[in-house]
Chains A and B, each alone.
Chain A
Amino acid sequence: MTQAQGAVLVDKASSGPGGQWFLAVAAVLFTIGMVGLLLRRNVIVMFMCVELMLNAVNLTFVTFAKMLNDIGGQVVVFFILVVAAAEVVVGLGIIVSIFRRRKIGTTADSAVLLKG
């Protein structure tokens, strides 16, 4: 590492937008996903909002990989992509198995079977 300590967060390319801009975009994206998760009641759309939040976090990792000049951030995003794919497969499998055996809507309010 030839980089001077303490100057890690200074962007080398001064012409483009700095890392803080990308972090701000990721923050807004995460918030939109979170509000959507709280507002929507269709289970599939709620799941899409989870994907939005995951993508915001991925964008944060890539931004820090650039700011800190560390390829590890991008490798982490690679693993997150794999885990997210597995999560989507299992999650959609659960949604299908819940809503196929009972002829009801796909809102989260319909899944009250476990309510005490």
Chain B
Amino acid sequence: MVDWIVFVAGTLIALSGAIGVVTLRNPVHAALSLVLTLFGVAVLFVAQAAHFLAVVQVIVYAGAVVVLFLFVIMLLGVDRDEANIGVEPLRAQRPAAAVIGVAAAGLLLALSRVSFTTGAPSTAGAADGPGTNVEKIADSVFTRYVYAFEITSVLLVIAVVGAVLLARKPKPLTDEVAA
């Protein structure tokens, strides 16, 4: 019974936040709705015994990523309502989006009722059994997936360097100086 209450609460939080991201006109409000969704997904992670990922989700996503979004919104100065949200530059874009959305929802919901598993045993280790969730993830990350783990550190360095290069102030002669 408690499981159902947690599931319904997490689902309501996540889906209402998602609808807020899509419908709210102010980008700041959309970013705050995104926090709601990320928190709801974290609740659903806890409901499935993924405690480590729930904590990381709240810290990294709801903390760092959304703050980064808000930072860029404020930097670009777009923290007010979009005036032209009703304008439709492409003809029939909205009906097409609605049709595609309904089709995709139907397809995904149908797929979620079917299972294609082979029944083969897991190679990364069991998710239940003795030990905490953190220990089991650490066992897997630092043994079986250790090369992938090292490569992600390279990826992060590349991303940092790329972001610095991209966000540098442009040379004055290329365009009008923005700032």
- Give the size of the chain A interface in residues (CB under 8 angstroms): 83
Q: Which residue of A lies closest to B84 (CB)?
A: A107
- Assembly CA distance A81 to B59 (angstroms): 11
Would A45 and B115 count as touching, CB distance under 8 A? no
Is A111 part of the binding interface, using a Cβ–Cβ cutoff of 8 Å? no
- Assembly CA distance A70 to B48 (angstroms): 12
Would B156 and A86 count as touching, CB distance under 8 A? yes
How many Cβ-Cβ contacts under 8 Å join chain A to chain B?
264
Would A24 and B100 count as touching, CB distance under 8 A? no
Would B141 and A38 count as touching, CB distance under 8 A? no
- Assembly CA distance A20 to B114 (angstroms): 9
- Assembly CA distance A105 to B27 (angstroms): 13
Would A97 and B167 count as touching, CB distance under 8 A? yes
List chain B residues, Cβ under 8 A from A9. 115, 117
Q: Which of A5-21 contact B (CB under 8 A)?
A: 5-6, 8-9, 12-13, 15-17, 20-21
The answer to whether A72 and B159 touch (CB under 8 A), given A44-B78, A90-B166, is no
List chain A residues, Cβ under 8 A from B14. 25, 29
- Assembly CA distance A101 to B173 (angstroms): 11
List chain B residues, Cβ under 8 A from A96. 72, 75-76, 166-167
Would B50 and A62 count as touching, CB distance under 8 A? yes
Q: Which residue of A lies closest to B140 (CB)?
A: A75
List chain A residues, Cβ under 8 A from B141. 75, 78
A-B contact pairs, 5 of them (CB 8 A): A25-B15, A38-B93, A69-B122, A86-B156, A89-B68
9 closest A-B pairs by beta carbon, nearest first, are A16-B3, A72-B124, A70-B122, A27-B108, A23-B112, A93-B166, A36-B22, A86-B159, A1-B121
Q: Other CB < 8 Å A-B pairs besides A72-B125, A94-B166, 9 of them?
A: A29-B14, A31-B101, A48-B31, A52-B34, A78-B56, A81-B57, A85-B156, A90-B166, A109-B89
